[in-house]
């Protein structure tokens, strides 16, 4: 008898919220964006341009060294190694 009670309890737990799950699944299938999952979702053009600009501005950030230097305004910066023309040179950058 105890096994029957547990079995009934497990069946109730398994089917709890089943109607809502099926409704959500049907709604997802009916949505065109979800149905055509082969399409890539891309950011808007202005967002992509802003990201590309920020990457260009910060692309030499990885070349910062651990050496401190003095900026023209008197603040302390970090020495960076950058490619100028065809030669590498050391410049003082804002850290």
What is the mean pLDDT of the segment spanning 6-35? 79
Residue matched to tokens 């105890």: 2
What is the model's pTM?
0.35
In the prediction, which pLDDT does 34 show? 45
Percent of the chain residues past pLDDT 70, beyond the cut: 77
Q: Measure the CA–CA gap between 36 and 23, rounded to whole angstroms.
A: 19
Find out whether 76 and 70 touch, Cβ atoms under 8 Å: yes
Query: Which string of b and e fits 72-90 if b means at least 16 CB within 10 Å?
Result: eeeeebbbbeeeeeeeeee
Nearest alpha-carbon partner for 79 in 87, 88, 94? 94
In the prediction, which pLDDT does 95 show? 72
Q: Measure the CA–CA gap between 78 and 63, rounded to whole angstroms.
A: 10
Indicate the pLDDT class of residue 11, thresholds 50, 70 and 90: confident
């Amino acid at each position: 008898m105890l096994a029957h009670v547990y079995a009934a309890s497990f069946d109730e737990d398994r089917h709890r919220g089943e109607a809502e799950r099926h409704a959500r699944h049907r709604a997802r299938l009916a949505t065109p964006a979800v149905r055509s999952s082969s399409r890539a979702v891309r950011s808007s053009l202005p967002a992509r341009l802003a990201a590309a600009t920020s990457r260009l501005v910060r692309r030499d950030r990885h070349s910062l060294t651990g050496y401190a230097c003095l900026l023209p305004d008197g603040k302390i910066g970090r020495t960076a190694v950058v490619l100028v023309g065809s030669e590498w040179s050391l410049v003082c950058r804002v850290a």
